[in-house]
Amino acid sequence: MKIPDFIIEVESGRDPIVLQLSDTQIIDASQQRASGRLSSGQSSYWAKDKVNERCYDYIRETIETTKPDLILITGDLVYGEFDDSGEAFLSLINFMESFEIPWAPVFGNHDNESKKGVDWQCAQLEQAEHCLFKQRTLTGNGNYTVGIQQNGALKRVFFMLDSNGCSAMSDESKANEHYKTSAGFGADQIAWYTETANKIKALSPDTKFTFAFHIQIATFTKAYAKYGFKNSGTADNPINIDRLEDQATGDFGYLGKDLKGAWDADGQVWTGFKTLGVDSILVGHEHCNSASVVYEGVRFQFGQKSSTYDRSNFVQKDGSITGVYPPNNGTPLIGGTVMPLSKENGSILNPYIYLCKDAGGSIDWDQLYKEPEILAPDQLNRVEYDFNGTDFNTKISATGLFVPAFSAKAISDTSTVPAGFTGGVYGNTNNSSEGMATIYVKFNTPIETENLYALKLRMYVTPYTATSGKSPLIRSFTGVLYESLQSYRTFKEQGGEFGKWVEVDILPLLLGTELEKDGKIESFVFTYRYYTSDTTASCYYDSLIIETKK
């Protein structure tokens, strides 16, 4: 039988291997449309000639180690905004073709931003010898099926679908007029895959179904709920399933980010999947999530990110994992998700994440989740400096740093400041939905990081009503806000609380970034970012505390 658009015949006597890559999202910094869109560090990090070390070396190691029979790429092959020439897209195709292994991609929400247009992109994929891709005149681009067959038996079919959602789609990509800028399937897509699946079931009742697309459906939240996932404040409480005592057999991976743009809130698509007998759903999109869990008999899987373009998870010096935009001197967690299939019936056997070791730099992987070093006060030297300009310079507002809605200011009237204030700067809201309390610190003498244990800001944030689902963040920058982001964590994660003076350790936001040079920190920009419409929220910075090991 041949109902799938493509069939891969795997010899009998062994389990076929399927490899899921995701969000390669190649950025060619030389093609940025607007000057300053990327920071100088990002422009260098994502320079055109860095594509091997940022992406291809990882993929090569993953493929050569896992030896797959089929490679799936679940969206965002390139960051189309940075590929108007199409060079990055062609480069990726040529690279994937070099392995001479069947590979099947779907579009994400960034590919079709390119001014080359989606029809051109589809044509390049269809013309590639080993690429399995078919353009249909359905909503989206590239809806097709791939079957795995052994001894004439169709073991599994992968439905490769466009989940749409490219809100910044170029005019050239809109030209074919079968697009949706919002996430989700069109009614014609649903009708097509439903009819196709039923035809396959009628001819081959034992065939297993996998659906692969880019942006996750809302049911992913329910699937991860058994591990405490609430899709709110995930960065506050990241979930490492592999480290949990109640880890269920077959579940694995990491959740470090809330789900963005999840669709199918009413569950109709999910219900349709169950009716068809789908046993696995593969997605990408959330770069900092790689979890794979079974819920109601169906595997819900975020593919492991396969490049350090855009945001990625990095292991920091203290053993923590943070999702940040490079450059970052931590070790990137990059690779792919491997799915062996049973040679008997095509079921998914013991899937796992392959993390690159060679391309990812040196790290003791056995100590990846080491506990941070905890020192008692008598083991530390502690020096506290008030924000008075004596020991370092504090720029309160400067070109590129000033945010009118919420910027740090010198305090002239201390009658309303919290008790315990010793002199510093503050910021307050201006009836804005979001904003930042921003300070710039430059040390008169750069501080060395070798024996540095903590760098703490003593600060106070008045209680306020936060925007639903928006966790207060602290961020570090080298200079211009929004264009030089180095790292961020949630206020709560670093010990922050509303309505009391707290010492927030900002050292994890600085180590391993562009702010640490030759083992020293000379300056940094720090922001507290709030989300609220309250007019009473204020943030006070009182002093900077430096703790070093004795």
pLDDT tens for residues 109-143?
999 999 999 999 999 999 999 999 999 999 999 99
Tokens 């006060």, located at residue: 377
Clarify whether residues 124 and 270 are in a common domain. Answer: yes
137 by Cβ neighbours in 10 Å (0-12 / 13-18 / 19+) ranks as exposed
Half-sphere exposure of 468 (CA within 13 A, CB side): 1
User: Is the model's pLDDT at 398 over the cut of 50?
Assistant: no
Task: Give the contacts of 378 (CB within 8 A, at least 6 positions apart).
Answer: none
Query: For the chain, how long is the longest CA-to-CA vector?
Result: 83
Clarify whether residues 132 and 150 are in a common domain. Answer: yes
Q: What is the DSSP letter of 306?
A: -
Using omega within 30 degrees of 0 as the cis cutoff, is the peptide bond preceding 68 cis? no
Number of separate domains in the chain: 2
Using omega within 30 degrees of 0 as the cis cutoff, is the peptide bond preceding 327 cis? yes
Clarify whether residues 396 and 274 are in a common domain. Answer: no
User: Is the model's pLDDT at 413 over the cut of 80?
Assistant: no
- Give the pLDDT score at 396: 40
For the record, the structure tokens of 86 come out as: 């199409």
- Give the pLDDT score at 289: 96
Clarify whether residues 385 and 357 are in a common domain. Answer: no
Over its C-alpha atoms, the chain yields an Rg (Å, rounded) of 25
Calpha distance 227→245 (Å, rounded):
10
pTM of the model: 0.83
- Give the pLDDT score at 360: 52
Q: What is the mean pLDDT of residues 92-103?
A: 98
Q: What is the mean pLDDT of residues 337-357?
A: 95
**Residue of 358, 301, 424 whose CA lies nearest to 56:** 358
- Give the pLDDT score at 432: 55
Calpha distance 462→456 (Å, rounded):
19
Q: Is residue 514 part of a domain?
A: yes
User: Is the model's pLDDT at 395 over the cut of 60?
Assistant: no
Q: What is the mean pLDDT of residues 391-403?
A: 38
DSSP 416-432: TSPTT--S-EEEE--S-
Clarify whether residues 254 and 397 are in a common domain. Answer: no
Clarify whether residues 306 and 221 are in a common domain. Answer: yes
Residue 386: phi and psi, rounded to 5, are: -75, 155
Calpha distance 496→155 (Å, rounded):
52
Pick from 339, 367, 395: which residue ends a domain?
367
Number of residues that make up the chain: 550
Q: Is residue 77 part of a domain?
A: yes
Clarify whether residues 389 and 255 are in a common domain. Answer: no
Q: Is residue 48 part of a domain?
A: yes
Q: Is residue 372 part of a domain?
A: no
Q: Which of 90-104, 165-179, 299-313, 533-547 has the lowest mean pLDDT?
A: 533-547
Averaged pLDDT score across all residues of the chain: 87
Calpha distance 494→503 (Å, rounded):
9
Calpha distance 446→217 (Å, rounded):
48
Clarify whether residues 438 and 532 are in a common domain. Answer: yes
Clarify whether residues 267 and 338 are in a common domain. Answer: yes
Calpha distance 305→332 (Å, rounded):
10
Sign of the torsion formed by the C-alpha atoms of 161, 163, 166 and 169:
positive
SS (H, E, C) 347-416: CECCCEEEECCCCCCCCCHHHCCCCCCCCCHHHEEEEEEECCCCCEEEECCCCCCCCCCCCCEECCCCCC
DSSP-assigned beta bridge partners for residue 246: none
Q: What is the mean pLDDT of residues 397-408?
A: 36
pLDDT digits (tens, 9 = 90+) for 233-262: 787 778 999 889 999 999 999 999 999 889
Range of the domain at 145: 6-367
- Give the pLDDT score at 95: 98
CATH number where 426 lies: 2.60.120
Question: What is the percentage of the chain residues whose pLDDT exceeds 90?
Answer: 60
User: Is the model's pLDDT at 157 over the cut of 60?
Assistant: yes
Residue at 204: amino acid letter: S
Q: Is the Cβ–Cβ distance between 213 and 273 less than 8 Å?
A: no
Tokens 């049911």, located at residue: 219
Query: Which of the residue ranges 383-387, 389-393, 495-499 has the most confident prediction, judged by mean pLDDT?
Result: 495-499
pLDDT digits (tens, 9 = 90+) for 369-389: 566 678 898 999 998 877 654
Q: Is the Cβ–Cβ distance between 72 and 103 less than 8 Å?
A: yes
Pick from 367, 402, 419: which residue ends a domain?
367
Q: Is the Cβ–Cβ distance between 382 and 545 less than 8 Å?
A: yes
Pick from 349, 367, 385: which residue ends a domain?
367
- Give the pLDDT score at 322: 81
End-to-end CA distance of the chain: 74
Query: Which of the residue ranges 191-205, 403-417, 445-459, 519-533 has the most confident prediction, judged by mean pLDDT?
Result: 191-205
Axis crossing angle, helix 187-203 with helix 268-276, rounded to the nearest 10:
10
Q: Is residue 349 part of a domain?
A: yes
Q: Is residue 1 part of a domain?
A: no
Clarify whether residues 312 and 392 are in a common domain. Answer: no
Q: What is the mean pLDDT of residues 358-373?
A: 60
Q: Is residue 498 part of a domain?
A: yes
For the record, the structure tokens of 85 come out as: 């020439």
In three-state secondary structure terms, 145 is: strand
Q: Is residue 484 part of a domain?
A: yes
- Give the pLDDT score at 394: 43
Q: How many beta carbons lie within 10 A of that of residue 263, not counting itself? A: 17
Clarify whether residues 353 and 386 are in a common domain. Answer: no
For the record, the structure tokens of 171 come out as: 């005019």
**In which band, very low, low, confident or very high, does the pLDDT at 429 lie, cut at 50, 70 and 90?**
very low
The continuous run of DSSP H or E covering 220 comes out as: helix 219-224
Q: How many beta carbons lie within 10 A of that of residue 479, not counting itself? A: 18
Residue at 283: amino acid letter: V
Task: Give the contacts of 244 (CB within 8 A, at least 6 positions apart).
Answer: 227
Clarify whether residues 385 and 344 are in a common domain. Answer: no
Q: What is the mean pLDDT of residues 184-210?
A: 97
CATH number where 176 lies: 3.60.21.10
Calpha distance 265→231 (Å, rounded):
13
SS (H, E, C) 185-237: CCHHHHHHHHHHHHHHHHHCCCCEEEEECCCCECHHHHHHHHHCCCCCCCCCC
For the record, the structure tokens of 351 come out as: 């899937």
pLDDT digits (tens, 9 = 90+) for 44-96: 999 999 999 999 999 999 999 999 999 999 999 999 999 999 999 999 999 99
Helix%, strand%, coil% for the chain, nearest 5: 20, 30, 50
